[in-house]
Amino acid sequence: MSKITSQQFFQAWVDAVQNRKEHLLTIWRQPGVFTSHVKGDDTSIIKEIADKLNLLCYQQDYYCIDTIFYKEEDLVPERPIGSYWFRDIRIAFEHENNFNSGLYQEVSHLLITNCDLRVLVTYPTDYGEEEQMEYLHKIIKGSRHSKVVSEEESFLIIFGSENGFLWEGYIYKEDNWKQVHVTVTEETQQATGGFVQ
C-alpha cells in the first residue's frame, strides 16, 4: 500500500481551504471557532482531506495527537463497539493557532509518533518565522531518525497567512527546509499567492 506524500497532503490541504476561503477569513481571528472548523466534525477541513486521500480520520485527541488519519485495517480488531484503538497510523496531524506558543512541543510530539507522515499547520506572525524554522529544523536534525524523515520527506509544516490568504508548505530535509509546490490551478494559484511551480 502506498504512503501519502507531503506533496499530496499539501495539495489536498490547499484545495480544501480554498474551497472554504470566505468562511475561513470571517473566523480567522476566533481561534476556537477556527480550530473547530479545521478539525472536529463531519464537515471539517480534515474530513474533506481524509476523503480526498481515501483515508479515515479520528478528529478527537488520541494520546494528545490532534487528529489521526488511518485505514480501516489500522484499527485494533475485535475492540469494543464505538471505541478507537489503533495499531497503525498513516498521518499524525497537529494544528496550532498560536505560532509563538512553543511549536517545539508539537514538533517533538510528532517526531516520537510512529506514522508515515507528520503534519503541523500553524500561522506565523509578522516576525520570527525564519528563526523558528531554524530552531524546528535543529530539533528534527537532532533526532536519530532525522535521516529517514528527510529521505522519506515525512515531516511537513504548513504556514497559513490571513493577509492574502496564503499557504506555504515546507518539508524537512537534512540540509534545510524544502518548499512544497502544488499543481497549478486557478484555486491553488490564489491560495498560495503564486508560490507554485
Q: Which residue has the higher pLDDT, 126 or 166?
A: 166
**Sheet with 155-161, edge to edge strand ranges:** 56-58, 67-70, 91-96, 117-122, 155-161, 166-172, 177-180
Strands 177-180 and 155-161, sheet pairing: unpaired
Confidence of residue 197 (pLDDT cuts 50, 70, 90): very low
- Please name the residue that has the C-alpha cell 480526498: 52
| Cβ–Cβ under 8 Å, residues 86 and 71 | no
CB atoms within 10 A of CB 129: 15
- pTM, two decimal places: 0.91
pLDDT of residue 196: 46
Residues 19-67: tens digit of each pLDDT: 999 999 999 999 999 999 999 888 999 999 999 999 999 998 898 899 9
Residue partners of 95: CB distance under 8 A and separation at least 6: 35, 38, 39, 66, 67, 120, 121, 122
Classify residue 180 as exposed, middle or buried by CB count within 10 Å of its CB (0-12, 13-18, 19+): buried
pLDDT of residue 148: 98
d(CA 41, CA 142): 36
Residue partners of 11: CB distance under 8 A and separation at least 6: 182, 183, 188
- Please name the residue that has the C-alpha cell 481524509: 50
Q: Which residue has the higher pLDDT, 79 or 101?
A: 79
Inform me whether the pLDDT recorded for 128 exceeds 90. no
> 3-class SS at 168?
strand
- What residues are paired with 70 via a beta bridge? 56
CB atoms within 10 A of CB 78: 5
d(CA 150, CA 154): 7
Inform me whether the pLDDT recorded for 1 exceeds 80. no
| Cβ–Cβ under 8 Å, residues 158 and 144 | no
Residue 9 parent element (H or E): helix 6-19
Residue 62 is classified by DSSP as: B
Residues 129-186: tens digit of each pLDDT: 899 999 999 999 999 999 999 999 999 999 999 999 999 999 999 999 999 988 756 6
Average pLDDT value for residue range 1-13: 93
Residues 65-95: tens digit of each pLDDT: 999 999 999 999 999 998 999 999 999 999 9
pLDDT of residue 79: 92
Average pLDDT value for residue range 110-133: 92
Confidence of residue 102 (pLDDT cuts 50, 70, 90): confident
Domain positions in the chain are 6-192
